[in-house]
Structure 1
């Protein structure tokens, strides 16, 4: 049906394994999802693109996210999947119950981004609070005990998202508060920096709305 490979394997690299698969006529058309925790060089990206039906998923942190992205990529009909996998995907996609009435804080210095995200989330019955700077974000988190999740823009003037997340994590009550970092696509090493600062997960801008909602459901489900 298909395969999912990590590029870092103990006995051979993911590239070597892909080459062996593509050299076998019977396996050359199998859809492959490749995931990697490292930043690929331009040459490595080009090499992957030459191997048909492969896609790179970066930094897959959870089995739910891997399943979700893999199913999207393969365009699998949900009824073809085993019942437990169907249940997992329907929780992520089919149910808005997990989003309803949850309070989410959006932190972004661009009011247009706040407006777009607020419109999206309010359509899913989410209660949105927002601010344009990190300092106020920390105050809101401390004063609002029922915040379920934070969407944190990383590139902000004065106090950036990294610093804001670190300050929130210093407060004992918020060690496990889900914080999803919003990062610019071009930022190198953004995953490591976000996670080191204390982010739960991250998503690149421009934000894919389906991916964002799926990620929010995953973290609110935990």
Structure 2
């Protein structure tokens, strides 16, 4: 199925995409809270948001009139892929209202023999463009050949092939930019200057998550730094 997704992707150009996600055990995981965080992000100039789970996508779309990149993280025994690993996950996210579907597009084994090519084709049949989350330039090229509409550096540093590498993957981003496909810098962007650097390298857009919306991880990091070397009884409160 050949569809022109320009109108869906164009609003992302040279903009900030905020990933509004939270751990499942966090009070922030409540769909209405995620939607409020998303709305706050849009109010301050984010061009789009990236949201996990159908319930959160639906809550966000009910509140925000902004492009939404949807995904569904699922842990499947025996497989390392977890970002929208199967078509029924993508379909649920699409039905919830996501405008773009993000998938794991690494070379890792997929459940039930499903291929990246077949998954992208099925998502296109839903009338939705696909953001391929990759870790290496080889997998970016494979995703492009499989029909991906956008490629992100999302999984750089998070796979066995990139073990020991620290995001953001600016080198990978520079390589993807040369493929003549919208390249999204995602992962490890922890300061405004880094987002600017990504755009200067040719990124179509930049995704920032933890540095903006990761309250749980941010507070833990600050607390760990502040309490380092302090006796537990001195910090109990």
TM norm. shorter chain > 0.5:
no
Higher normalized strand content (fraction of residues): 1
TM-score, structure 2 normalization:
0.33
TM-score, structure 1 normalization:
0.35
Higher RCO structure, 1 or 2 (CA under 8 Å, sep 6+): 2
